[in-house]
A = this chain, B = another copy of it.
Amino acid sequence: MENKPYVIGLDLGGTNSVFGIVDAEANVIVSTSIRTAEQNDVEVYIDNCCKALAPLIEKVGGIDKIKGMGIGAPNGNFYTGNIELAPNLPWKGIVPLSKLFHERLGIPVVLTNDANAAAIGEMTFGVAKGMKNFIMLTLGTGVGSGIVVNGELVYGCDGFAGELGHVIVDRSPEARLCGCGRRGCLETYCSATGVARTAREFLSKRSDDSELRKMPMEDITSKDVSIAAEHGDRLAQDVYKFTGELLGRSCANFTAFCSPEAYVFFGGLTKAGNLIMDPIKEAYEANVQNIFKGKAKMLISQLDDAQAAVLGAAALAWKM
Contacts and interface: CB of A to CB of B under 8 A. Distances in A.
Interface of A: 85, 132-133, 147, 149-150, 152, 154-164, 166-168, 171, 180-182, 249, 252-261, 287, 289-292, 295-296
Find the residue from A133, A154, A257 having the highest chain B CB count within 10 A.
A257
Contacts of A291: 85, 158, 160, 163
A15 to B, nearest CB: 23
A159 B261 CA distance: 11
Given A163-B289, A166-B289, A290-B181, A157 B256 contact: no
The 6 closest A-B pairs by CB, nearest first: A156-B259, A161-B259, A157-B261, A163-B256, A133-B157, A161-B258
Given A156-B255, A162-B256, A163-B291, 12 more contacts: A149-B149, A150-B155, A155-B259, A157-B260, A160-B259, A161-B259, A163-B289, A164-B256, A166-B256, A167-B253, A168-B287, A254-B257
A147 B258 CA distance: 9
B133 A257 contact: no
A149 B148 CA distance: 10
B260 A156 contact: yes
Given A150-B150, A158-B295, A182 B289 contact: yes
Chain A interface, >50% SS class: loop
A182 B166 CA distance: 24
B289 A259 contact: no
Contacts of A157: 132-133, 259-261, 295-296
A254 to B, nearest CB: 7
29 contacts: A85-B291, A133-B156, A133-B161, A149-B149, A149-B154, A149-B156, A150-B152, A150-B155, A156-B258, A156-B260, A157-B296, A158-B295, A159-B259, A160-B291, A161-B256, A161-B257, A161-B258, A163-B289, A163-B291, A164-B256, A166-B256, A167-B253, A167-B256, A167-B257, A168-B252, A168-B253, A168-B287, A180-B289, A257-B258
Contacts of A289: 163, 166, 180, 182
A97 to B, nearest CB: 18
A254 B168 CA distance: 10
A116 to B, nearest CB: 12
A252 B180 CA distance: 14
